[in-house]
Amino acid sequence: MEFSTGFGWTRLPVLTAAFIFGSVLTASAQIIPPAADEEVEAADTPDVNDPDVLKGIDVDKLDWGQLAIDAGALNDIITAKKRAQAAAKEALNWSSNPNANGSSAVTVKQSVSSFWDTRIGADMTVAKEPTTMSELLAQKAANGGSLPQSSGNAWAAATAPGAGPVWDKTAVEARVDPGAEQSKLGASLTKSVPLSNDTSLTLQNGYSVNQQGTTALPGIAGRTTRNYETDQSARVEITDTGTSITAGQTLSTTDDKWLRKFGAEQKLFDNVTVSGSVGETSQGAINKSLTAGFKKSW
């Protein structure tokens, strides 16, 4: 429904139409002057034999007041629409994907504040309770003889601006898994530098603390271990070819040495990419991977 302002006068529509029609003719004559060697067609003039579009309509009974709307009411409508859009953005966002073992991966997240793009959520694996013997046997067969167990972890994340020319963006994330007694707190600093019109370089430094607890048993006290990790990466993106090359290294207190990794990604066509990587492991072996991905949003 569209709204327009008006005064509710009886002759307003006729005067408005005449004014608009005259303005259009004047603008057309000024903007598009006829060429000297082209024949100018005469404008169609009304004919007395043309059908009357107002035939059968009593003009005096028309409610022209419907065209009149208070400016304050229009502002209230716009404000209410914006408020509804903001409420929908801040509402809980649920998504669910079935797993091969019969469970479902459920994710719920909610925007807490637009300041620093703060979000909270939870990632859960929900196991379906078998209702028949056939479902029970099928779930055990898909999970090596045991039933899948439900699990989940809660997280909170925030994205903040950087510190001037030093870095562009700061990302902080905290994650807690009560079932496994695990928790993680991490932060990353990102800096993007354009190399040319179609090439850019992105540098990233990440830091995280991983905590693992053990359940206390009779006669054995529980203990908590912490692992500190840092990673550095450089990513070069070529916009014209859809190619990106990444080189990085990771250091943790458990490995006590830098583990290097090299990868590349190529966009074949819309929504389809192929990526490969080669990296070192703490055991000394080389880890290689080649994957293809398809992503579509609607």
Q: What is the pLDDT of residue 134?
A: 80
Question: Running along the chain, 298 residues long, what does each successive block of 10 average in pLDDT?
Answer: 41 42 44 45 58 70 68 73 66 76 78 80 83 78 75 90 85 90 93 92 95 75 86 94 94 90 90 92 90 71
Q: What gap in Å lies between CA 187 and CA 172, rounded to an integer?
A: 4
Taking CA atoms, 77 is separated from 3, 63, 82, 89, 104, in Å, by 11, 22, 9, 19, 41
Q: What is the pLDDT of residue 89?
A: 60
Q: What is the pLDDT of residue 8?
A: 44
Q: What is the pLDDT of residue 79?
A: 77
Q: Of 167, 290, 138, which is closest to residue 232 (Cα–Cα)?
A: 167
